[in-house]
Amino acid sequence: MFYRQGSPAMYYAYTAFPVYFWTDVLQQGPLLQQIAGSYARLSVRWRPVAFVGVYVAILEALVYAYFDRRVYSAAFALLAVLWPLTVSPRFRRQHTGLLALWTACCLLTSVFTLLPVERNDHLGLVIAGGALITLSGLAAWHYSPTFTLAPPGVAAKEAQHAVALDRLMILVETLLVGVATVLGPLTSKETERRGHLPRLHQLSCWAVLIIATLLPFVHGAVLGRGARDQHYLYRLVTIYLAFATPFVLLTVSYESLFYFAYSSVLLLWLTIERALYHEQAEQQLLAPTPKTRLSHLAPAASGSRRLGINDMRTGIMFLFFVNVAFFGTGNVASLASFSLDSVYRLITLFDPFLMSALLLFKIFIPFFLVSAVFGVLNRSLELPPFSLFLFVLSTTDVMTVNFFFLVRDDGSWLDIGMSISHFCISGLFVLFTIVLFVLSHALVGKVLIPVGAKDKQR
């Protein structure tokens, strides 16, 4: 029909994707049977209400959060309280400290979406956030021997040298964060005092930003040439510290505190999901043997499993954290909510392209973190690469339909522009999710993920 009507090639793409998507959905027969069995245990009266109510409530809450960021604060408060209560009593006894940290970090992160997006310079908050990130880096360096791997099949002296080099990497990145914590506010003070950006300060800021950003990738390339793999936690720590330096340099207020709290919540989410998965595997007598499994970029091996009902929670939470990265410190629908004051430490002459690039780089840094954590989590749960990804895509399409009907053609230009921006962001979210999926593999690369009942490396 398209051929006879002379339809453009895009029409074929619009038709091909639903066919591919629903074919993949129908192939998940065991999952559909499991969902049907779960709701079969409910009464006929409450079965549709439970399914439709929970699903629609979550999606509509995320849609409404585009207009009121306080929804994320309420969601974090609910996650802080409800998730620890829904796990098994045995899990609560074994991971009391972990769940307590989860509650504390969720409540801390919930504060930031209550703060205004329009903010003035507050160097005290910048220093406090940078100091917290620096202290966390020092703590990671102190405990790094537990997750720093020596290259296999080498002499003891060479292995010690390699481990020392990896630990030095964490220390250098931590020191760069400390330098950025001091250099950023100092540059702002000197610029305000002199009336222009000092050349020495400008060059120092650029040098620290470039070195800190490129250092882990150079280190990873050296490891790749040596056919050496990193522990997943070591890789996440280096990514966290590498992007912390430019983020602190481009911070004018509480953004660095958000970076610390958001990163802590992501790490705790990964840890709890892994622990829940291993508890479930133990209960099903399918716990993997305590060994170190290589997680690579190739498609999942025969040992991978199908998507289960519990993985729906993981997909929804990933979608939630991506939205928090969007609106944690501003409103992405309006770049005006992100202050250009943050780029004045690197450039003062008006250059819209360079300024926009630096601003977008700062906005995208939280997405780098969530994509890296999601990449590790997908492999830790031993899922096929596209399973959670397709679920998130299907969810974003439902949100896009909501915003399509919310587009306005009356009222002020601001209201019309915001409604169109929300629809475009939601529509492009599909493409952005694909980019995040690819980025997760690029950032994480080859990592070693310990698996086992006690989750210890041998």
Separation between Cα atoms, residue 199 and residue 356, nearest integer Å: 21
Separation between Cα atoms, residue 107 and residue 87, nearest integer Å: 19
Identity at 250, one-letter amino acid code = L
Three-state secondary-structure class, residue 384? coil
Cα–Cα separations (whole angstroms), residue 110 to 257, 265, 370: 12, 11, 17
Cα–Cα separations (whole angstroms), residue 18 to 32, 389, 423, 424: 18, 15, 20, 20
Separation between Cα atoms, residue 150 and residue 230, nearest integer Å: 9
For 170, other C-beta atoms within 10 Å of its C-beta total 22
What is the reported pLDDT for 300? 38
What is the reported pLDDT for 223? 56
Q: What is the DSSP string of 111-163?
A: TGGGS-SS----HHHHHHHHHHHHHHHHHHHHHGGGT-PPPTTS-HHHHHHHH
What pTM does this model have?
0.80
What phi, psi does 349 have (nearest 5°)? Answer: -70, 140
Separation between Cα atoms, residue 239 and residue 234, nearest integer Å: 9
20 HSE (CA, 13 A, CB side) = 9
Contact criterion met (CB below 8 Å) for 173 and 245 = yes
What is the reported pLDDT for 272? 93
Q: What is the DSSP string of 177-189?
A: HHHHHHHHHHHHH
Cα–Cα separations (whole angstroms), residue 60 to 65, 67, 328, 345: 8, 11, 18, 40
Kindly report each contact of residues 328-332 with a partner whose C-beta sits within 8 Å and lies 24 or more positions away, as own/partner. Answer: 328/72, 328/109, 328/112, 328/113, 328/258, 328/262, 328/366, 329/112, 329/117, 329/254, 329/255, 329/258, 330/117, 330/363, 331/69, 331/117, 332/363, 332/425
pLDDT in tens, the chain (458 residues): 777 777 777 777 777 777 777 777 677 667 666 666 665 565 555 655 665 677 778 878 888 888 888 889 999 999 998 888 888 888 888 889 999 999 999 999 999 988 877 767 788 888 999 999 999 999 999 988 888 777 666 667 777 777 888 888 899 999 999 999 998 888 888 887 877 778 888 899 899 999 988 887 776 666 554 445 678 888 899 889 999 999 999 888 888 999 999 999 999 999 999 888 888 777 665 545 444 444 443 333 445 667 766 777 888 888 889 889 888 877 655 554 556 677 878 887 777 788 888 888 888 888 888 888 888 888 888 777 667 777 777 777 778 787 788 787 777 777 787 788 778 877 777 777 777 777 777 777 666 676 554 443 33
What is the reported pLDDT for 128? 92
What is the reported pLDDT for 51? 59
Cα–Cα separations (whole angstroms), residue 438 to 147, 218, 344, 414: 25, 19, 32, 34
What is the reported pLDDT for 140? 92
Identity at 384, one-letter amino acid code = P
What is the reported pLDDT for 174? 93
Separation between Cα atoms, residue 255 and residue 242, nearest integer Å: 16
Burial of 8 (0-12, 13-18, 19+ CB in 10 A): exposed
Separation between Cα atoms, residue 101 and residue 171, nearest integer Å: 25
